[in-house]
Amino acid sequence: MDRHSEDLDLLKSLLEIYDQKYIGEYLNSLSPGQWCRETINRLLNGKSAKEFSHREYGALLKLLPSPPVNHPNYEFNFIDLFAGIGGLRRGFETIGGRCVFTSEWNEPAVRTYKANHYADPLAHTFNDDIRKITLSDQEDVDPGEVDRNIDRMIPDHEVLLAGFPCQPFSIAGVSKKNALGRAHGFDCKTQGTLFFDVARIIEVKRPVAFLLENVKNLKSHDKGRTFRIIMETLDELGYWVADVDCAGPDPKVIDGQHFVPQHRERIVLVGFRKDLDAHDGFTLRDIAKQYPKSKPKLGDILEKKVDEKYILTTKLWEYLFNYSIKHKAKGNGFGYGLVKESDVTRTLSARYYKDGSEILIDRGFDPDKPFGDEKNIRNRPRRLTPRECARLMGYDKPDGAEFRIPVSDTQAYKQFGNSVVVPVFAAVAKLMRPRIKAAILAREKTQVKSTKNDRRSQRGSSLKKHAGDKVPEHQA
Task: Indicate which residues carry an active-site annotation.
Answer: 166
DSSP SS3 for 160: strand
Q: Which residues pair with 338 in a beta bridge?
A: 360
Distances (CA, A) of 277 to 92, 183, 238, 239, 240: 21, 29, 11, 10, 9
Distances (CA, A) of 222 to 218, 225, 227, 232: 9, 6, 9, 16
DSSP class per residue in 7-24 = HHHHHHHHTTTS-HHHHH
The whole-angstrom separation of Cα 417 and Cα 4 is 41
CB 267 within 8 A of CB 213: yes
- Around Cβ 395, how many Cβ atoms within 10 Å? 27
Contacts with 449 (C-beta within 8 Å, 6 or more apart), sequence order: none
CB 412 within 8 A of CB 389: yes
The whole-angstrom separation of Cα 234 and Cα 253 is 18
Peptide bond into 292 cis (omega under 30): no
